[in-house]
Amino acid sequence: MVSDPVDESESHPTEGLDEIVHQRARLGILSLVHEARRVEFGYLLKTLGLTGGNLSQHLRVLEEASLIKVEKGVQGRRPRTWISITPIGRRALLREIRALRAIVDRVDRLTERKE
């Protein structure tokens, strides 16, 4: 090793990341549904800049993992899809956020040392 790693004995914080939660679009969905009691499909679409098909696919993955709940309804005359986070989803998101913070802090620490 021609290197100076922070600590060779600890496993790297990326090992704490869960692929279901970590994936870019799904991380966006989970953090948005964490912010509100429930959010509408169109809001996620607009805020995350996804296509409808893509968003539906990611919602399905999250729903199958019990991380979100999807409810169909009608508001006025328009069909609506509402998404909310489950307690399992909230725990998974907060675990991901802890791992991300460890990664960010570690990179920042090293970057400062080099500057």
Binding-site size, a second copy (CB under 8 A): 44
Site string for a second copy, 49-88 (x = CB under 8 A): x--------------------------------x------
Burial of 95 (0-12, 13-18, 19+ CB in 10 A): middle
Q: 11: which 2 tokens?
A: 């496993």
**Residues 4-33 contacting a second copy, CB under 8 A:** 4-6, 8, 11-12, 14-15, 17, 19, 22, 24-25, 27-28, 31-32
Sequence-distant (6+) residues with CB within 8 A of 67 are: 20, 21, 30, 85, 86, 88, 89, 92, 93
Taking a C-beta distance cutoff of 8 angstroms, is the pair 89, 67 a contact? yes
Name the site residues for a second copy (rule: CB under 8 A): 1-6, 8, 11-12, 14-15, 17, 19, 22, 24-25, 27-28, 31-32, 34-40, 43, 47-49, 82, 93-94, 97, 100-101, 103-104, 106-108, 110-111
